[in-house]
């Protein structure tokens, strides 16, 4: 399997996944919290971002400014 490095560790490419939604991530294309990888949107933003101003679908369980 192909190796990627992220968060100071080596990963098999399919093993680098978001802790919340399990989406496969790319090295350098994701966020980190407490040493664990998260997709930037919506997971990291919903869990650790500022509250009340989310523009992304799925944050806080309501429709955002994107109007879906």
Mean pLDDT of 8-37: 93
Summarize pLDDT for 33-62 with one digit per residue, the tens: 999 999 998 999 999 988 755 555 555 544
Q: What's the number of CA atoms in the CB half-sphere (13 Å) around residue 30? A: 23
Of all helices (H) and strands (E), which one includes residue 33? strand 31-33
Give the domain ranges of the chain. 4-48
Neighbours of 47 (CB within 10 A): 13
Model confidence, pTM? 0.68
Q: What's the number of CA atoms in the CB half-sphere (13 Å) around residue 31? A: 15
Q: What's the number of CA atoms in the CB half-sphere (13 Å) around residue 8? A: 4
Phi, psi dihedral angles at 11 (to 5 degrees): -130, 150
**For the domain with range 4-48, which CATH number is right: 3.20.20.10, 2.10.110.10, 3.40.50.620, 3.90.650.10?**
2.10.110.10
């Amino acid at each position: 399997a192909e190796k990627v490095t992220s968060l100071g560790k080596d990963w098999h490419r399919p093993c680098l996944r978001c802790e919340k939604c399990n989406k496969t991530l790319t090295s350098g294309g994701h966020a980190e919290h407490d040493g664990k990888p998260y997709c930037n949107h919506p997971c990291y933003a919903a869990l650790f971002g500022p509250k009340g101003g989310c523009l992304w679908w799925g944050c806080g369980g309501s429709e955002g400014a994107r109007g879906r």
